[in-house]
Chain A
């Protein structure tokens, strides 16, 4: 049985923890709002990019003029996986969810006899995947120092990927990240980057593309556009990830705060019960002492 003093100390320490988790929750909520705004602001660009790309890809057609980034190498022996996770923990199952999803994918590919290479973006995913696939990880990108993810960060990763592709290091590239659905639900998602898949062409775009003029020419524009599109996709994934991380952190910290509250209640009840027991005991001692006289 813990003494009164022990209980008092425990209550104080749980209270301190609760204060911290509460503060972290509030910080996460503020950051979440900012992350959501950033994701929102980035949407017009990627939407228009997708529309333009679909349009132009249709004009170029699947002939030889189409760049290799789009048609692929014609093989699918070597897979490159870009796994984007957060830099920090304390956000529930967010990081392990993505890592687990990527791990299942890697196992599946390995079982099929493919070669797998991994690029880790974010420390947490690297820590988890390193345990099992240390030899497959060819690179890692550290965004720990980055306060606000800008397009340059994504662009740098994009350039790296394209360089690897041009050197024939891989055939298929897939991006792993968490799609931000809501504060309580983030869905791990895999998206194929190379060969690039052009979206569906709407009927309206189809008629428009027939009369487009291209400057310099459609193929040149396409080969300029696709690398850019890869960077944009990575950028979008990173932004979704930040929003997802903050959402997960918020709900994790909310849970922790609530648990701490429950614990404090229980401990306080215990403390009071013991305090009363002690008072009763003292009274009995005094009374029985008085009676003995």
Chain B
């Protein structure tokens, strides 16, 4: 089997650079649906919703990160994911998620129209993320 070409993937949150590595494949939870990025992808920019990013490194390892919304810049030879906040799946626990959901709920109070739908959607996405990542 021929190994797929690798490309540079960077996962950055405002607080730090989480990952910068050669990878062969990255699955990004884009707003318009999940997206698998491989080398030589057409240049794309997309917003990212809360979800799990799965990274297959060139070394054959698979790493998973939970991101809470953000933005991805994809080029044929590289991909940068600017996450609003990101944690390695192993480090994520229920309390972090619940805190976030509670914060969003608090924001929901008094929100109207478009903003309300947006926050509701955000909460739904977070809840789903929790179901995927944390076994009940």
Q: Does B91 contact A (CB under 8 A)?
A: no
What is the interface size of chain B, counting residues whose CB is below 8 A from a CB of the partner? 23
Contacts of A231 in B (CB 8 A): 14
Contacts A38-B15, A44-B17: A213 and B82 contacting too (C-beta < 8 A)? Answer: no
**Contact assessment for A216 and B43 in the assembled complex, using a CB-CB cutoff below 8 Å:** no
Q: How far is the CB of A35 from chain B (nearest CB, A)?
A: 13
B-contact bits for A131-154, CB 8 A (1 contact / 0 none):
000000000000000000011001
A104 within 8 A of B: no
Task: Give a binary string over A30-52; 1 marks a CB under 8 Å from any B CB, 0 the rest.
Answer: 00000000100110111011001
Kindly identify, within residues 44 to 101 of chain B, every residue whose CB is under 8 Å from any CB belonging to chain A.
Answer: 44-47, 71, 73, 75, 80, 82, 84-85
**Interface: A10 (CB within 8 A):** no
Chain A residue with minimal CB distance to B43? A212
> A48 touches which one: B16, B43, B82, B84 (CB < 8 A)?
B82
B71 adjacent to A45 (CB under 8 Å): no
Residues of B within 8 A of A38 (CB): 15
Please report which residues of chain B, range 9-50, place their CB below 8 angstroms from some CB of chain A when the two chains form the complex. 10, 12-17, 30-32, 42-47
In the assembly, what is the distance between CA of A154 and CA of B13, in Å? 13
Task: Identify whether the interface residues of B are mostly helix, strand, loop, or mixed.
Answer: strand
Q: Is B45 within 8 A of A228, CB to CB?
A: no
Pick the residue among B13, B17, B47 that contacts A215 (CB under 8 A). Answer: B47
Q: Cβ of A42 and Cβ of B16 under 8 Å apart?
A: yes
A207-B12 Cα distance, complex, nearest whole Å:
25
B100 nearest CB neighbor, chain A only: A152
A235 and B14 in contact, given A213-B42, A225-B71 (Cβ under 8 angstroms)? yes
Contact call B16/A41, Cβ cutoff below 8 A? yes
Q: Which 3 A-B pairs have the closest CB atoms?
A: A41-B16, A215-B46, A151-B14
> B residues touching A (Cβ–Cβ < 8 Å)?
10, 12-17, 30-32, 42-47, 71, 73, 75, 80, 82, 84-85
15 extra interface residue pairs, beta carbon distance < 8 Å, beyond A151-B14, A235-B14: A45-B12, A45-B13, A150-B15, A151-B85, A212-B43, A212-B45, A213-B42, A214-B45, A216-B31, A216-B32, A216-B46, A216-B47, A218-B45, A221-B45, A225-B71
